[in-house]
Amino acid sequence: MFKRVFKKIKNLIFRTTCSIWFEKTLHEIPNPVAPDVDISIEYLMEDISRLSDWLKTHHAVFPWLYVRKELESAQANKHIYACILHQDVIIGYVKIGMNNVYVHDFDKVVHFPSKVAFVYDIFVLPEYRGKHIASYVLIKIIQFLKERGFEKLWCHIEGWNHASIKTFQKIGFKEKASIRFSRLFGFPFFLQNSYKPLKSLEAFWEAHYGMS
Ligand SMILES: CC(C)(COP(=O)(O)OP(=O)(O)OC[C@H]1O[C@@H](n2cnc3c(N)ncnc32)[C@H](O)[C@@H]1OP(=O)(O)O)[C@@H](O)C(=O)NCCC(=O)NCCS
């Protein structure tokens, strides 16, 4: 209890996170290679309750899966939640955002340019990992998004997460920047590539695509 309160106070005073931001242009799509397990994908668009219920039940073991603000922004902005199913049972998922996305690291809703989608979470249950499920599902998602007029897909990954970095790089995601977010006594600020101040994520898009 004391530890939790201390952590909360510490976070209120100073908080910092750093992620690598990756982009994939959707013009070239690698061929999907079937994973080692028989899976199917169910895309939830209007009603994401099947996955949000699952996230709630797995929250105790994997606390980062279920974030209330993230789900609210997903519902309000019609995000696409892809359930990964094995024998009709959920074994993983991919959360795909567009327009406005609550980014947990920043505790903030970020506006994305049109035709740009953002994978803000991907998860495969531990016993199903290493069977090429995530790479296969991401390629299918890229096809799905391209058919719906999207041109770019982004993701952000913390530097320690080698499994995730390898998964995304393998299918052609390219590193574009590292973005550090810090908050000191409630004042947020961003640094790009270690030293360059960045006003906001929206300013990052503007510099990148010449639009916001
Ligand atoms: C990241 C994650 C989704 C990958 O799922 P997966 O189905 O196991 O990935 P794949 O089997 O498709 O692997 C894709 C590539 O990454 C490699 N890879 C996967 N896990 C790895 C690991 N722990 N270490 C090194 N390489 C790894 C695979 O070997 C494969 O490359 P290969 O084709 O050369 O063999 C899964 O590890 C996971 O759910 N992690 C916890 C949640 C998480 O960190 N999500 C990412 C948030 S940004």
Strands 80-86 and 40-44: antiparallel
Nearest CA to ligand 1 atom 29: 130
* 124 pocket-lining for ligand 1 (C-beta < 6 Å): yes
Least confident of 20-29, 128-137, 180-189: 180-189
Rounded CA separation 37/207 (Å): 42
Q: What is the mean pLDDT of residues 160-179?
A: 97
* 137 pocket-lining for ligand 1 (C-beta < 6 Å): no
Q: How far is the CA of 161 from the centre of ligand 1 (A)?
A: 9
Q: What is the mean pLDDT of residues 143-154?
A: 97
Q: What is the mean pLDDT of residues 184-201?
A: 90
Confidence class for position 211, pLDDT limits 50, 70, 90: low
Q: Where are the beta strands (DSSP E) in the chain?
A: 14-25, 40-44, 80-86, 89-97, 100-103, 108-111, 116-124, 152-158, 174-184, 187-192, 196-198
Rounded CA separation 81/98 (Å): 11
Which pLDDT value is given to residue 168?
98
* 73 pocket-lining for ligand 1 (C-beta < 6 Å): no
Confidence class for position 123, pLDDT limits 50, 70, 90: very high
* % of the chain beyond a pLDDT of 70: 99
pLDDT at 212 > cutoff 80: no
C-beta atoms surrounding 157 within 10 Å = 22
pLDDT tens digits, 23-45: 999 999 999 999 999 999 999 99
- With the most atoms of ligand 1 within 8 angstroms of its CB, the residue from 167, 169, 175 to mutate is 167
Q: What is the mean pLDDT of residues 33-58?
A: 96
Question: Which CATH class for the 16-209 domain?
Answer: alpha beta
* 163 pocket-lining for ligand 1 (C-beta < 6 Å): yes
Question: Burial level of 134, CB count in 10 A (0-12/13-18/19+)?
Answer: buried
Q: Which two tokens stand for residue 14?
A: 């100073």
Q: Choose the most confident range, by mean pLDDT, from 1-10, 56-65, 126-135, 191-200.
A: 126-135
pLDDT at 4 > cutoff 90: no
Which pLDDT value is given to residue 190?
92
pTM of the model: 0.94
Which amino acid is located at 56 in the chain?
K
Confidence class for position 186, pLDDT limits 50, 70, 90: confident
* 139 pocket-lining for ligand 1 (C-beta < 6 Å): no
